[in-house]
Amino acid sequence: MRAEPAIDRPTEVTLSEHASTTLLAGCGIPVARAALARDVEEAVRVADGLGYPVVVKLCGATIVHKTERSLVRVGLADAAAVRRAATALLALARPADGDVGLLVAEHVAGRRELIAGLVRDPQFGPCVMLGLGGIFAEALGAVVFAAAPLTSTEAGAMLADLRARLPLLGPFRGEPAVCTGAVGAVLVALGRLGDERADVRSVDVNPLIVRDGKPVAADALVVLEPGTTSPPPTARAPEPAETILERFRPLFHPRGVIVAGASSHPGKFGFVAFHNLLRFGFRGALYPVNRDGAPILGHETLRDVSEVPRGNADLVFVCTPSAVNAALLRACAEVGVRAAFVASGGYREAGEEGAARER
């Protein structure tokens, strides 16, 4: 295989936890009281001022996964405990961490944790996320999204959607119900940040701890776009709704659909997809493609995507083996297809080779 020449690409800019929470606090998002100390004794003075218990973390712009490196000490009850923790954390600093400090913060206690954030989708633009945090995050997978900017009504709808799945948002073990207005204000603020700051690529507020029913950001990570040297506010001109609707029309309202890998076997997705399009009365043109060219459900099939009249189909259901899909999608593009639903297995779940195909 011929080696590709090296290309210098700008890298994204990750703000330290202290810089991230400071940015969020400026947007009106409640964050844990904290201050950055440069040495052990300054950390003790900060802790004395905050009041015990406190949390101490090693903080730097290149330190992202603090928990995995054991760079967090919680529940420190007095100055001696802070002194020991700060000394140990500084000893764990690596040369690659660059300039580091000690972030001393109040210990935020609460039995429920949420995750909130912002992602910049290439199609939808900035989107706000809200989900269940803590030990249940991966197990329950309860997450909702909405495009930014948000109104308070739209933020409330996100809460209602999450609440319908999670009774934990109501009164819980002697704690009051989660204040929907307070959480909604966090979501609105995140949406405003994403809408007004084109340089903000993503925001991860995790955990957003519920204390006395109200959310407090105990940790946060903000990532800026590549090449950003400073975070000046810039406005993003919103796309007209008609432009966005037209972009997604081929996916939701296609004129014609290709079923690539159509099958006569009822247990295969290539059969189910074609059957359902017929059964539920799809009114556009249907093009089942099967390399054998055998009839399926009484309909003639094509042997190759290139046989589809150009411009007659703008959505493809991909039910073929992953190894052929890249070439298949290129062939679909040649006949005017603009959207695809890929149902194939054999990607990231199948190992490194599958992950390469997925990319």
- Per-residue confidence at 4, pLDDT binned at 50, 70, 90? very low
CA 118 to chain centre: 7
The percent of residues in the chain predicted with pLDDT above 70, rounded, is 89
Q: Which amino acid is at 294?
A: A
Per-residue model confidence (pLDDT) at position 136 = 53
This prediction has a pTM of 0.62
Radius of gyration of the chain (CA): 26
Per-residue model confidence (pLDDT) at position 230 = 47
Instruction: Indicate whether 169 pLDDT > 80.
Output: no
- Per-residue confidence at 105, pLDDT binned at 50, 70, 90? very high
Give mean pLDDT, residues 80-90.
96
The highest-level CATH class for domain 33-106 is alpha beta
Angle at 128 between CA 126 and CA 129, to 5 degrees: 135
Instruction: Indicate whether 168 pLDDT > 80.
Output: no
Check: CB of residue 147 under 8 Å from CB of residue 157. Answer: no
DSSP-derived secondary structure letter, 103: E
Name residue, tokens 């993503």.
202
CATH homologous superfamily of 112-238? ATP-grasp fold, B domain (3.30.470.20)
- Higher-confidence residue of 5 and 219: namely 219
- Lowest mean pLDDT of 5-14, 45-54, 148-157, name the range: 5-14
Per-residue model confidence (pLDDT) at position 172 = 67
Per-residue model confidence (pLDDT) at position 236 = 45
Name residue, tokens 């493609």.
289
Per-residue model confidence (pLDDT) at position 359 = 81
Check: CB of residue 260 under 8 Å from CB of residue 289. Answer: yes
If DSSP codes are grouped into helix, strand and coil, which group holds residue 327?
A: helix
pLDDT tens-digit readout, 202-259 = 999 999 999 988 999 999 999 998 866 544 444 445 567 777 788 889 999 999 999 9
Q: What is the Cα–Cα distance from 163 to 156, expressed in whole angstroms? A: 10
Give mean pLDDT, residues 81-92.
96
User: Taking the domain 242-358, which CATH number applies?
Assistant: 3.40.50.720
pLDDT tens-digit readout, 130-150 = 988 765 555 455 788 999 999
Mean pLDDT taken over the chain? 87
Would you kindly state where each structural domain of the chain is located, as residue ranges?
A: 33-106, 112-238, 242-358
Same fold across 33-106 and 242-358? no
Per-residue model confidence (pLDDT) at position 233 = 44
